[in-house]
Amino acid sequence: MKATISEVQVTPIKANEGLVGFASFVYDNSFYFGSIGIYTRPQGGYRLTYPTRGNFNIFHPINREVAEEIEKVIISKFEDVTKMYVGHNSFNTK
């Protein structure tokens, strides 16, 4: 049985040193994960960062397959949400 990623929420922000938004989601209808940073990549595209406290990770995927699935779902949602702002002055990633 494959775990599910649901209740994906993204909040775009005005770009700041590559940070363009935050995300949260529910994993397998059992765990809530939030405060995930969405950053632009210099070569194009996006990457995710997971919250830390000092030098300690609070959480992060340890399996490449799961990490890629989370990234795919969050970035897809982020792109869908930001498409609504194209041509509007309310959101600007510059």
12-53 residue pLDDT tens: 999 999 999 999 999 999 999 999 999 999 999 999 999 999
Q: Does the residue 93 lie in any domain?
A: no
Query: CA–CA separation, 51 vs 34, rounded Å?
Result: 8
Q: Does the residue 32 lie in any domain?
A: yes
Q: Does the residue 94 lie in any domain?
A: no
Q: pLDDT per residue over 47-88, tens digit each?
A: 999 999 999 999 999 999 999 999 999 999 999 999 887 655
What CATH number is given to the structural domain containing 24? 3.30.1120.40
Query: CA–CA separation, 83 vs 32, rounded Å?
Result: 26
Alpha carbons within 13 angstroms on the beta-carbon side of residue 38 total 29
Query: CA–CA separation, 13 vs 10, rounded Å?
Result: 10
Are 91 and 12 in contact by the 8 Å Cβ rule? The answer is: yes
**pLDDT at site 46:** 97
Report the domain count for the chain: 1
Domain, as residue range, for 38: 5-83
Categorize the per-residue pLDDT at 93 as very low, low, confident or very high, splitting at 50, 70 and 90.
very low
